Every structure is written in structure tokens, then in C-alpha cells.
Amino acid sequence: MARPPKPIDWNLVEAKVAAGCDGIEICQDFRLDDNTFYSRFKQEYGESFQDYRCRQQRVGEGNIKYVQYIKAIGLSRDGELTKKGDTTLLIHLGRTRCNQVEAQPSKEKELPPTENYLQLQDRYIQLEHKFNELMNALKPQADAQLHGSNSPLQHLGGSDLVGEVPHSDSESH
């Protein structure tokens, strides 16, 4: 006479599958060989353990999300909001599920666009003034070179006066 099969608590199997346990972890609880467990599972549910597990594991993940959610916002079992929400858990859910991040402090004080424009315009005026000062400081030296004996144009046989057109021999007749 064959030994009676070891009892399997199918409610516990379903809970462990939802929790993410694999077949080896579950069959160890019942002190069953894994092949025996898989064949008895197929007899009980009409499908392979692997197919069932893939589907049911998502149920467990959904339950975790749900319990975290109700604890985070302080939802009672009958759907009423309480004042006992978990702020830390709510922040965690915001970061993981909503991609929320803490605002990074700005190193510079952000100015309105008009303020930035006015600052740039002011800087442009300062640089333009400095440029004009430099040009005025260099003008006497430039004039001396243009009108002096060291004019580069004189060395090339040209006039040292700006705007003077050289005379050709044909015009003098």
C-alpha cells in the first residue's frame, strides 16, 4: 500500500507565490521533492507552477504598492483618510513612483529675464566706454605715425595724408 501524499496548504502556497517565493522555497516548507510539488501543483491548478507564478507574483507586487500607499496617505480600511499618514513613506513613493526629486538650491540668485538683460546692457555700456577711452589714448600715437616721417605710406612711395589721392604724370600735362 502506498503512503498517503503529504498535505499541502494551498492558501500558503498562493501567499508565498504572491510574496515572490519560487517553487524550491515553497516545496521546502512542506518537505516535498520539487518534482512532486510541481506535479501536484499542476493537478490542483490545471497549469504549470511557472505560468501561475509569473501571473500571481504581480499580484504580490500590487499588494505591496497598495499597502504602502494606504499607509503613506493614512487611508483606513473603509477608505477614509486619517491623520496617521507616514510622511517618510509618502516621500519614498513620490521619488520611486512619480520620479520626484528634491529641488537643488541654485548657486546664483535667479533673476527675471528683464533683470538679466539690464545687467548685460550695463556691462556692454561699461565695455564700450573702456574701448572709447583706449581708442582716444591711442589716437595721438596713430596720428603721429600717419603724419610723421616714419609713416609706413612714405616708405612705400605713397602719401602720408589720409584721403589724398596721388598725382599721376598724365594729369600734370
Question: pLDDT per residue over 141-150, tens digit each?
Answer: 777 777 765 5
Say if residue 47's pLDDT is above 90.
yes
Taking only the tens place, the pLDDT of each residue in 63-99 is 888 888 888 888 877 777 777 888 888 888 888 888 8
Res 173: pLDDT: 46
Taking only the tens place, the pLDDT of each residue in 113-133 is 788 788 888 888 999 989 888
- On whether the CB atoms of residues 48 and 42 are closer than 8 A, the answer is yes
What counts of helices (H) and strands (E) characterise the chain? 7, 0
Which one has a higher pLDDT value, 17 or 152? 17
